[in-house]
Structure formats: C-alpha cells, structure tokens
Chains A and B, each alone.
Chain A
Amino acid sequence: SQQGEEDPQALSIQEGENATMNCSYKTSINNLQWYRQNSGRGLVHLILIRSNEREKHSGRLRVTLDTSKKSSSLLITASRAADTASYFCATDLNTGGFKTIFGAGTRLFVKA
C-alpha cells in the first residue's frame, strides 16, 4: 500500500447521515492532517492531529489516530449537501526533514 491511502474511494450518503473516511499509512509520522477540496479548487485545512494524540474534535468533525495500526479516521456528523467534496489525509513524515504525503482521497457526495 502507498503512504496515505484513503478508503472508501467514493462515498454517497443522504443529508443528515454520518460519513466516515479512513486513512492508512506506512511510515513513522509527526502529524496527520485532513484537508477538504472542492472540485478544481484549493485545499482547506480541517484538522491536524499529532502523533501523540488519539482524538480531536472540531465542530462536526472528529478525527482519530491509531499509531499502532498506522491509521486515522475522519468522521463528519450530520452531513450537509455543502460537505460534498474530496477529503484527503496528509502525513507529515518523521524523516528529520519536512515532507508531507497526500493520499488519493475520498470523494464524498451528500444528497439533499
């Protein structure tokens, strides 16, 4: 598997439902970040979770990190049509330098 793989690749849900996206990675990290990208536009930062943290919340977003399994999840509760976007995890590698690897992303479609 690649560093930073998300699943599912695509997710379609009804407004009001929860959406869960998962990210797995291979190597040691300092941080893991989640971003949102609307079609053809820029990347919006959602949450950063550090390697010594297990869970973080921001509004309707909940991120977990399990470093023993090298995995993270992003939960969006009570989804809205405006949440329709691609969601990417990005791992800040623990290489001594500064290198961030993005996953291929999950495309979320929320039906009104």
Chain B
Amino acid sequence: EPEVTQTPSHQVTQMGQEVILRCVPISNHLYFYWYRQILGQKVEFLVSFYNNEISEKSEIFDDQFSVERPDGSNFTLKIRSTKLEDSAMYFCASSDGVAGVVDTQYFGPGTRLTVL
C-alpha cells in the first residue's frame, strides 16, 4: 500500500541553524500539507500546497518557514533560523481530491526536530 515517507526521522540542530525536512507524498496525490505537534499537545496545521503554490497557511507559518516541491516527488519544509520553540514533531500529509474537495489525508511517520 502506498505511504507517505519522511526523512530524517530525527533531526537535532543548533538554534539559528537552517533545517530542511523532507517528505515524499503518495505519488498520485495532488494536495500536500505540513503539520507540527509539540510534545503532549495537539496537531497544528502549518501549510497546505496545491498546484505548485501555497493554498493556506497558519499564523505559525511565518517568514522563517517555506515549502517547496522541487521535483515531481519531494515536498520540503525549510525553517531558515530555528528557535528553541520550533522543537516538535513535524508531519507531512498528502491527499487526493475531486472538484476542489480534498479526500483522506495520509500522514507520514513524522520528523522529530530538536533545537538546542
């Protein structure tokens, strides 16, 4: 069964450093998402991406964040200058959809980002 994959599974970085989290969505999906979950808290929407552009973003997704689909398979989240409070589990998801209504979102296993 197709699945969403994410690399790395765990990333440790120093405050102020740039990180790139990578995702490979399910191949025929058209809608892509990033979420984060701070330990013990709920899953928070960061951004959605469709047709090579951002569809929606949350207040969390400020100028320090960017997303890219550099080729036909990868979907990346970049944090330019990490802060301690960026430490969280980051989930990528993808979904299919018809007539602008998205279908089930399938989640990757997550990347645990630790900022020291």
Task: List A residues at the B interface (Cβ < 8 Å).
Answer: 30-31, 33, 35, 40-45, 48, 50, 88, 90, 92, 95, 97-105
Contacts and interface: CB of A to CB of B under 8 A. Distances in A.
Contacts of B91: 42-43
B102 A92 contact: yes
- The A contact surface, by secondary structure, is strand
B103 interface: yes
7 contacts: A33-B104, A41-B109, A42-B110, A88-B42, A95-B56, A98-B31, A98-B55
B43 interface: yes
Nearest to B109: A42
Given A42-B91, A43-B91, A97-B55, A102 B45 contact: yes
Contacts of A88: 42-43
A33 B52 CA distance: 25
Contacts of A42: 91, 107-110
A97 B42 CA distance: 22
A88 B106 CA distance: 14
A102 B35 CA distance: 10
B43 A97 contact: no
B4 to A, nearest CB: 9
B7 interface: no
A41 B58 CA distance: 23
